[in-house]
Structure 1
Amino acid sequence: MDKPQEEMQFLGLFGIYKETIKTIISWRKIFTQITLTFILPLAIIFLAHMEVSNLISRKIMQTDFQKHITRPGTLRYSKLTDALRSEWIIYWLLKATYFTFLIVFSLLSTSAVIYTTACIYTSRNLTFTSVLNVVPKVWKRLFVTFLCAFVVYLIYNLLAILILVLYMVHFPDNTFGVVVFHVMLILYFMGFVYISIIWQMACVVSILDNFYGVKAMMKSKDLIKGKRWVAIIVFTKLHLSFFAIQIIFELLVVYGHALGVWRRVGFALFCFLALMILFLFGLVAQTILYLTCKSYHYESINKSSLGDLLEDYLGDYEALNNGDDNVQLEQTHV
């Protein structure tokens, strides 16, 4: 990544895509190692969960149906009740395990790719071993930011539910009410996408800036100003691609029994490969977008100080003070 910082601010949508592809291809060896170590398990966990969850759900529905057509008080009814309870326990244990591993590998993948991309930008010596040593330390900062984002998502959705309840109580069931509902739905998704953009940019801030948690999200909100539409388009296209892969897997693999075993296996492999590429591309792209936003706001990115911060992760991390001479990211005035 040899583009001068003063040119980074002029990168648009296709410029960010070009830099992302160029970075991945130029450093394909280490990105391949990161993909196989962190992103491959993430893709397997995400897609395999859909298949396993569907099998357990179908089993629960069958058991529940058999219970409803069985006379209460019989031995068969008692056995079906116990079986249904066990199946529900397995289902929720599966969900808990799934979300735990999904979060862990998601944060590990994010840490590894963002750190690697930053090292490439600062022209630091980079090995896969150094990435493995840094990831556990960077992961801690990301986890705090994730918890803050989770709280924001929770509050946002609770407010959306409250508004929905008020709508159902006060708005009539006519054409006007339907229009209002669809307007509210559009506004909800716009807000959801905006929060997602802030959170994903905050992940980069948590690693490459002296902020994490709520401060990282506030810094992220300030950074995307001026590049808001570029950020919206980048992340919206990534999310739409993600949902497209999810729908293809669900229709052609999870519910595609009529296609035959080998076709289902082929579609499953295609979805795994596409999802891995999408995860890697998205994480590198959001790091490039971060650098673009920093340059757009004339916040000079001191490669030497940023490199020192990245090196600090290899030892005992000490946050850089904004008042030090070695400040990581300093504001320059035009």
Structure 2
Amino acid sequence: MDLSLEELQFLTIPDILKESISIPKQSPKTFYLITLSLIFPLSFAILVHSLFTHPILSQLQVDPIGPRTSSQWTKLLTFQLFYFFVLFAFSLLSTAAVVFTVASLYTSKPVSFSSTIAAIPSVFKRLFITFIWVSLTMVVYYMIFIVFLVLLIIAVDTQNMLLFLFSMVVVFLLFLVVHVYISALWHLASVVSVLEPVYGFAAMKKSYELLKGRTRMAFGLVFVYLAICGVINGLFGSIVVHGGEYYGVLSRILVGGFLVGVLVIVNLVGLLVQSVFYYVCKSYHHQGIDKSALYDHLGGYLGEYVPLKSSIQLENLDA
């Protein structure tokens, strides 16, 4: 990283994006292989799974109690379970690969696709534990939200449509804000799990502390990412999945391929941004990372472990 401690503190969102986009130029072959083998399958699954589930859902809507209903539900459940497994696996694998590679570049550690793949098993275990803790947090939050929503519906006079709609909009906005914040917490905790000797609840606590003072920036980054993904999914659904009456097969294939490619780029940049944002948060709190200590920590994933030093200075990253 060619930025000093003071410069990192004052990076804006455009600066973070610029820094993130420049990172793959340092090792294009490694990032090309990571993108092709991990990020592309993830992006492809996110969009294309609806092509398989849409016909089943349409059949169930037309004939919800027919003789083939049971087999249709079984098929739908099988597709959904397979989709969630692929989504979960490639999401963690992509995160592990990108965060590890970016950190290796920042510490001048030799970078290659093979070394990144070799480090993933150890990184994956840490990310998995962190993911479980974040998932439990999400489940608790959703349960609280549902209870609050039911109580609101009971308390608000549904005959007063204007008041009811206003209340629902307020609740939705509160839900969105908390959802984005938890997502930001998750992304930062994932980086922490790779770059520091903590994971699970400890990583979540660490990311919570790092987000202080940079919450608005994190909210902006995550919101923009989720919004872009939402637009891409919306276009794919309306044109490729549901647009058979208005668009030809070739047009839908071309649009679908283009949208998958765009989502691949968005996901890659998103993973790079969360890596850079980690350093920005550390800088803001004057918590650096000893370059040699981080080098040793990353080597631990490859069987070259040396205990992580406790003293940290971000300025060493520029040494």
TM-score (norm 1): 0.89
Q: Which secondary structure state, in structure 1, belongs to the residue aligned with residue 251 of structure 2?
A: helix
Say what the alpha-carbon RMSD is for the aligned residues. 1.8
* Aligned residues of 1:208 and 1:306 also touching (Cα < 8 A): yes
SS at match of 2:227: helix
Aligned to 1:30: 30
* Alpha-carbon shift at residue 3 of structure 1 (Å): 2.4
Write out per-residue CA displacement over residues 209-235 of structure 1, whole angstroms, 9 at most, x where no aligned residue: 121111111111110111221111111
Q: CA deviation at 1:317?
A: 5.7
Q: Does 1:298 align with 2:286?
A: yes
Say if 1:269 and 1:200 are closer, same or farther in 2 by CA, change over 3 A: same
**Structure-2 separation of matches of 1:316 and 1:213:** 23
Structure 1's 154 and 316: CA in aligned 2 closer, same or farther, altered over 3 A?
Answer: farther
Partner of 1:250: 237
Q: Is residue 2:82 matched to residue 1:97?
A: yes
Asked if the contact 2:5/2:314 (under 8 Å) is kept, the reply is no
Matching residue's letter, 1:214 = F
DSSP-derived class of the 1:11 partner: coil
What letter corresponds to residue 310 of structure 2 in structure 1? V
Q: Does 1:195 align with 2:178?
A: no
- TM alignment of 1:79-158, pairs within 5 A: 80-81=66-67, 83-158=68-143
Q: Which residue of 2 aligns with 1:71?
A: none
Q: Distance in 1 between matches of 2:307 and 2:235?
A: 44
1:17 correspondence with 2:5: no
Taking structure 2 as the reference length, the TM-score comes to 0.93
Q: 1:63 to 1:180 in 2, by over 3 A?
A: closer
2 CA distance for matches of 1:169 and 1:190?
Answer: 23
Q: Is the 8 A contact 1:253 1:268 kept in 2?
A: yes
1:263 aligns to what?
Answer: 251
CA distance in 1, matches of 2:27, 2:56: 41
Q: What do the CA deviations read for 1:240-281 (whole angstroms, capped 9, x no partner)?
A: 111111011001100111210111011111111001101100
Stretch moving more, 152-161 or 41-50:
41-50
Q: Which residue of 2 aligns with 1:283?
A: 271
Could you tell me how far apart the structure 1 residues matched to 2:164 and 2:125 are? 46
Superposition map of 1:288-327 within 5 A: 288-315=276-303, 320=308, 326-327=309-310
Alignment counterpart, residue 218 of structure 1, candidates 198, 205, 221: 205
Aligned to 1:165: 150
Gaps of 5+ in 2: none
How far apart, CA to CA, are the structure 2 residues paired with 1:136 and 1:60?
40
Contact 1:209 1:328 in 2 (8 A): no
Query: Is residue 2:49 matched to residue 1:49?
Result: yes
Of the structure 1 ranges 128-137 and 167-176, higher mean CA displacement relative to structure 2 is found in: 167-176
- Provide the residue aligned with 1:75 in structure 2: none
**Contact 1:63–1:84 (CA<8 Å) still a contact in 2?**
yes
Percent of aligned pairs with the same amino acid: 35
Instruction: Tell me the residue number matched to 2:163.
Output: 176
- 2:221 alignment partner, one of 210, 221, 234: 234
**CA distance change for structure 1 residues 50 and 298 in 2, over 3 Å: closer, same or farther?**
same
**Contact 1:201/1:290, CA 8 A, preserved across alignment:** yes
Determine if contact 1:295/1:301 at 8 Å carries over to the other structure.
no
Shift of 1:330: 6.1
- How many pairs were matched up? 312
CA drift at 1:319: 6.5
Q: Using the alignment, how far apart are the partners of 2:204 and 2:307 within structure 1? A: 18
Alpha-carbon deviation of 1:237? 0.8
The secondary structure found in structure 1 opposite 2:18 is helix
Deviation at 1:50, TM superposition (A): 1.1
Sort the Cα spacing of 1:165 and 1:29 in 2 relative to 1 into closer, same or farther, 3 A: same
Structure 1 residue ranges, 4+ long, deviating more than 4 angstroms after superposition: 316-319, 328-332
2:60 paired residue number? 60
The answer to whether the 8 A contact 1:145-1:203 is kept is: yes
Matching residue of 1:70? none
Show CA shifts across 1:293-315 (max 9, x none). 10111012111100110011101
Residue 58 of structure 1 and its aligned partner are, at CA, apart by 1.8
Q: Distance in 2 between matches of 1:112 and 1:189?
A: 29
